[in-house]
């Protein structure tokens, strides 16, 4: 059986990045932290930490970290289920991983009523829609919205709907860069706007329809969903934007052949609190008002 104090020391080192700061956090000496970590490593027969600055988990450390986070969330759900709420609060806390476009468009309106009625506090973690399920798999969140259709072990996945994306630009940008329409040659020189380094949507569209790899054209990185659209409206470049975000803008769709529908799925642990279950049912129902 894992020792609670040893696991606590391991988590503190991961969180703070050093044995000294972990000791200060747990109100023990750094040598006590060292002893607990060594004892835990001896018990498991694996090296758990790379003694660097900051300290980092080994592969075995990552596996232990994932397990401990899952246990923490399961314990939180169990306590909420038994007590009806967190012990010291009238609110329920739920950690959810979502992508920036979802947060900027339909997610909060869809959950407005259920969060108010159930007194739910949302702890939202932003991640690209192709990677959010990793946060669920590693036990960092209770649920997530993902493009992944297959549920992970111990989880359920439910189809929510589709988000339609268009390749768009401002009138001024089109007059400057695309006066005769878009083509492979023109796209080599026109600046694009891409959300971040994990965002492959723009690159995949240009590669599929124009044979252009990401190294073949200039682009901006704008890692904010609202500022991303602002940048395109200001004429800094063209980009893939959700239809939900361009309805109240003057942005122009460049071509219908690059229109892309992205399917979204709601993933959550099979064991969930009553609050998460009610939120799940509400979200599945309300998503039909916003998604295709």
> What CATH number is associated with residue 46?
1.10.10.10
| 64: pLDDT strictly greater than 60 | yes
Tell me phi and psi for residue 280, to 5 degrees.
-60, -50
In whole angstroms, how far apart are CA 55 and each of 15, 16, 50, 237? 9, 8, 6, 40
Per cent of the chain over pLDDT 90 is 49
| 181: pLDDT strictly greater than 50 | yes
Q: Among 45-54, 103-112, 121-130, 133-142, which stretch is predicted with the lowest mean pLDDT?
A: 133-142
Question: Do 13 and 131 lie in a common domain?
Answer: no
Question: Do 111 and 250 lie in a common domain?
Answer: no
pTM: 0.70
Question: Do 34 and 80 lie in a common domain?
Answer: no
pLDDT band at 197 (very low <50, low <70, confident <90, very high): confident
Range of the structural domain that residue 38 is part of: 4-64
Question: Do 53 and 133 lie in a common domain?
Answer: no
Are the CB atoms for 103 and 126 separated by under 8 Å?
Answer: yes
Tell me, what's the pLDDT at 208?
93
Question: Do 273 and 251 lie in a common domain?
Answer: no
Segment 161-175 shows an average pLDDT of 96
| 81: pLDDT strictly greater than 60 | no
Segment 10-20 shows an average pLDDT of 89
Q: Among 106-120, 201-215, 266-280, which stretch is predicted with the lowest mean pLDDT?
A: 266-280
173: CATH: 3.40.190.10
Domain boundary residue among 64, 88, 104?
64
Counting the structural domains of the chain, the total is 3
């Amino acid at each position: 059986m894992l020792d609670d104090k040893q696991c606590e020391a391991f988590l503190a080192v991961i969180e703070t990045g050093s044995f000294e700061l972990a000791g200060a956090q747990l109100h023990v000496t750094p040598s006590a932290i060292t002893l607990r970590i060594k004892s835990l490593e001896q018990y498991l027969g694996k090296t758990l930490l790379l003694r660097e600055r900051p300290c980092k988990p080994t592969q075995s450390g990552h596996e232990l970290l994932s397990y401990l986070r899952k246990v923490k969330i399961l314990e939180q759900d169990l306590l909420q289920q038994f007590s009806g709420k967190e012990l010291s609060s009238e609110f329920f806390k739920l950690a959810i991983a979502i992508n920036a476009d979802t947060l900027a468009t339909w997610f909060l309106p869809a959950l407005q009523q259920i969060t108010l009625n159930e007194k739910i506090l949302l702890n939202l973690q932003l991640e690209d829609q192709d990677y959010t399920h990793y946060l669920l798999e590693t036990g960092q969140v209770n649920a997530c919205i993902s493009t992944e259709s297959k549920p992970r072990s111990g989880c359920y996945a439910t189809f929510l709907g589709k988000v339609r994306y268009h390749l768009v630009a401002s009138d001024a940008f089109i007059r400057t860069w695309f006066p005769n329409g878009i083509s492979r040659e023109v796209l080599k020189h026109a600046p694009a706007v891409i959300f971040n380094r994990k965002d492959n949507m723009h690159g995949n569209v240009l590669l599929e329809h124009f044979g252009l790899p990401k190294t073949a054209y200039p682009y901006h990185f704008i890692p904010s969903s609202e500022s991303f659209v602002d940048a395109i409206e200001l004429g800094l470049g063209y980009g893939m934007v959700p239809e939900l975000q361009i309805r109240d803008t003057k942005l122009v769709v460049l071509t219908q052949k690059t229109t892309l529908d992205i399917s979204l799925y709601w993933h959550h642990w099979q064991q969930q609190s009553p609050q998460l279950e009610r939120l799940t049912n509400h979200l599945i129902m309300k998503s039909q008002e916003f998604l295709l």
